[in-house]
Structure 1
Amino acid sequence: MMPMEEYIVYFLILTVDIFIFYILMCLFNRYAYKLAAVQERAGQSHSLPGKQHINFNGAHKIGQRQCSQPQKRLIGFSNGQKGRHCQYCSQQKQLINPQGAHKKTKSAYHTLANKITFSKYEMKQYTMIAENTVRKLITQMKKEILSGDLIIDSDFIRAGSSFEGLKVKPDIEFDFLIPLSPPELYRFHFSSKTHGIPAMFCLVPILELQARSIYQKPVDFKKKFCSDWHLQSLAVRRWFQSLADRAVRSLPEISLEVRFSEKGPARTMKIRKSGIPEISVDLVPAIYVCGIYLVAKTYGGITECQHPLKDKLWRMSFSVQEKKILENISSHLPINACHQKTLQIVKHLKQSTPPLQWSANLSSYHLKTVWLHMLQKKSLYDWQHEKLDQRVLELIDNLVRNLRSKILPHFFIGNKHLLLRGKDVPKHVLQYENECNLFSDMHPSTLKQVCMQLEHLKYNLDNTVGKLCASI
């Protein structure tokens, strides 16, 4: 018989071996748990060794043994298809897991939105260049103003998608309103009640405050800019463009970097600097009358050629009000909300689609108007980060409904449910009794073709977003 000391030694050795074996088994099981979780997320949990808990619609859990001979049962899909599925595993044979496909599609929306959005660093760099150039130009334009001209009475006003966080790559564009006021003896007024004025447009009557004394030099303001005591939008545009051209010629430090072109009511300035892409800046002459800015945009409706007032019409601009509304709404939305990305994706779809009827005939303002109505009606919860794909589909679906009814109400004019009514938009401008239809100048056959093409896009939206995401 062995001495008692040897028994004790053997017992201690055996105890240590058992303890070590137990530790190794715990580590192995812990590793198996982590591996199972990783592969479950990847949709490959069917062949994992060891113990795991696989949740199938929140109903089933299994233990150590994997189902090497899985029981088969039929499951239904939203599209009516059926396939064989393991009762306990999440792996499906022959048919793709619809939940997994949906997750991949949702991630494609966010990936696309990130690819088409300028980073804060990029936008800050481009904004600084644009604003510095515009500031130099405006300063020189004030020096070039002659007696009897309109007056540039304040700094420029930032407007448009680049300052609202809605700009889409690749174009780098900025919009600046340039406020103008009349000479000292004159005042502007607002008139939209005259018969035959199209929606969103108005006339600007001129009021002379007092008779000129015999000691004052004659001012040819009325001769330059007015017709029948109304401010002419076309005359103001031509004067503004000529003034900008003169100012650039007087600034050798920017004259080599800048070239001008005409775009609607704006004088478009292209800035070219080495090392950065071309920056496009729209300088829009505007006047402030009765609480709203009016821009010198000539009427371009279907009756333009015959319209007797077309050179006197001024278009209402709600850029300032839109920016305030978006700032107010954004301050209450969830962190990393998807509202901006929703509109950006639809705008990118318009830019990336071949020149079909819908992309050619619908403007970015049409898309933005539908989006603003959604912002007003939807709850804050509906704009959570993970709901991006739902909101993009809903935006297109709402646009289709507007096309079917041939009516797209303006967000401000006639909007009786506007939350900020009377605060940032004057009541006389909202014109409660007269709704403004943004589709009124589009031919019914065009609206029908646009609607059909958007319906096709809606039913193939996931596939289209996936392709665009892969192509960038």
Structure 2
Amino acid sequence: MYRPTSHRDSRLSLKLRQYYKEYATFSDYENEEANKTVEEIENLIKNCLEDIEKEEDLPYTFGNLLHQGSSYEGLKVMKPDEFDLMLPLVMKPGWKIKKPYGRYKTPGFVFIKKKQIYFSPTAIKQTFQSILQRKVINYIMRNIITGITLGVGSSGGPALTLNVCYDDNLKMSIDIVPAISRKGRLFVTKRHPNATDKKQDLYHKMWRESFSENEKHIIKTMDRSNECRKKCLKILKTIRIVNPCTQLRCLSSYHLKTCMLYLNKKNAGPWNEAYIDNRFRDLLLILIEFLNRGSMENFFEPGIDLFAGISKKGIRSTGRWLSKIVYSNRPNAIIKKLLCR
């Protein structure tokens, strides 16, 4: 961890606060209006799901919608324009969670079976693309609130994406993401890296455990009064998006959040706002550590490598690029190379 020889309000501290204020954050009014709109649409979705349960013969019932992602963790940057709602699917009696065996044994992945029948993520995708899309959209359009217009987008996966226009042409997207709920655990349709479309291949029938509720609890409670963990993470997330020279774009915001989860677990020193410069360096150092190692373990399931599927060459290149900036002898290297647009 970065340990300065003295404590002072450094130039980097001032620049970090300025960058956060100018680029990373948005107004309370914007946030309130966006959340109010999501809440109105969420209430309509709940009513529609009740009707679907009565009309359709499904192997599951719908649980209560869960608020997921950066907008509900206090980590959204720049605009309040993306919201994630997880829809738990509670399997009816007979369905069980089974750990994979033999060559299919993979950390974080499970089968959902009833006797010899596998409950496939593909079945969920088909349901969401037909029943939910048709009925949810029709229901919302019939009951839509004045001043809101709605369209359907594609997330590329099983999620149902609602594109919303509200409050004089402001825009947002709302993803409704299905997840199997079983004894307090959640499983999502994250495709296994070895999956193929062959019928005899069982990889494509596997579900991955989601730790989003665990993450949300840690993130929402990790900052006490006048502490800066979230601020440091939001600054780094913004750099990844807006800096035209950054190599961080090969990473996702989830990689950066994972770094903060690990850093929060360590004794990094005081997190008071006055030490934002040192703690931001610590966040960069732990990211460099993962990049140089070439792997990043999931915080809750170390057997899952979050760098899987990313070019090893790109990971190494990003590590060298960031190391050169952080370990530079030039005192303003972070300001000049990262805190720019």
Aligned partners of 2:189 and 2:43: how far apart in 1? 21
2:13 — aligned with what?
106
Q: CA deviation at 1:290?
A: 3.7
Aligned partners of 1:199 and 1:292: how far apart in 2? 15
Aligned partners of 2:246 and 2:337: how far apart in 1? 15
Q: CA deviation at 1:193?
A: 4.3
Range moving further from structure 2, 456-465 or 125-134: 456-465
Query: Helix, strand or coil for the counterpart of 1:176?
Result: strand
Q: CA deviation at 1:410?
A: 1.3
What do residues 342-395 of structure 1 show as CA deviations (whole Å, max 9, x unaligned)? 110111111113386531x2111111111100001135x521101112222221
Query: Helix, strand or coil for the counterpart of 1:284?
Result: strand
What do residues 421-449 of structure 1 show as CA deviations (whole Å, max 9, x unaligned)? xxxxxxxxxxxxxx332224334322212
**Larger Rg computed on CA atoms:** 1
Do 1:358 and 1:451's aligned partners in 2 also have CA atoms closer than 8 Å? no
Give structure 1 regions of 4+ aligned residues with deviation exceeding 4 angstroms: none
Picking from 196, 210, 215, the partner of 1:322 is 215
2:317 — aligned with what?
449
Instruction: Structure 1 unaligned segments of length 5 or more: list them.
Output: 1-77, 79-98, 208-227, 415-434
Aligned partners of 1:349 and 1:371: how far apart in 2? 15
Picking from 458, 463, 470, the partner of 2:336 is 463
Query: Helix, strand or coil for the counterpart of 2:180?
Result: strand
Q: CA deviation at 1:151?
A: 3.9
Aligned partners of 2:339 and 2:128: how far apart in 1? 45
- CA shift in 2, pair 1:122/1:241, >3 Å: same
Instruction: Structure 2 unaligned segments of length 5 or more: list them.
Output: none
- CA shift in 2, pair 1:363/1:265, >3 Å: farther
1:33 — aligned with what?
none
Amino acid at match of 1:342: C
- CA shift in 2, pair 1:105/1:230, >3 Å: same
Do 1:142 and 1:151's aligned partners in 2 also have CA atoms closer than 8 Å? no
- CA shift in 2, pair 1:129/1:171, >3 Å: closer
Aligned partners of 2:112 and 2:272: how far apart in 1? 44
Picking from 123, 126, 140, the partner of 2:31 is 123
Q: CA deviation at 1:284?
A: 0.6
Q: CA deviation at 1:326?
A: 2.6
Amino acid at match of 1:341: K
Do 1:191 and 1:205's aligned partners in 2 also have CA atoms closer than 8 Å? no
Picking from 267, 288, 291, the partner of 1:400 is 288
Aligned partners of 1:346 and 1:363: how far apart in 2? 11
Aligned partners of 2:37 and 2:129: how far apart in 1? 21
For normalisation by structure 2, the TM-score amounts to 0.84
- CA shift in 2, pair 1:265/1:252, >3 Å: same
1:212 — aligned with what?
none
Aligned partners of 1:382 and 1:105: how far apart in 2? 17
Picking from 149, 153, 156, the partner of 1:257 is 149
- CA shift in 2, pair 1:355/1:147, >3 Å: farther
Aligned partners of 1:340 and 1:133: how far apart in 2? 28
Structure with the bigger RCO (C-alpha within 8 Å, sep 6+) is 2
For normalisation by structure 1, the TM-score amounts to 0.62
Q: CA deviation at 1:258?
A: 1.5
Q: CA deviation at 1:466?
A: 4.6
Alignment RMSD, CA only?
A: 2.7
Alignment of 1:342-421 (within 5 A): 342-354=232-244, 357-359=247-249, 361-378=250-267, 382-414=270-302
- CA shift in 2, pair 1:288/1:440, >3 Å: same
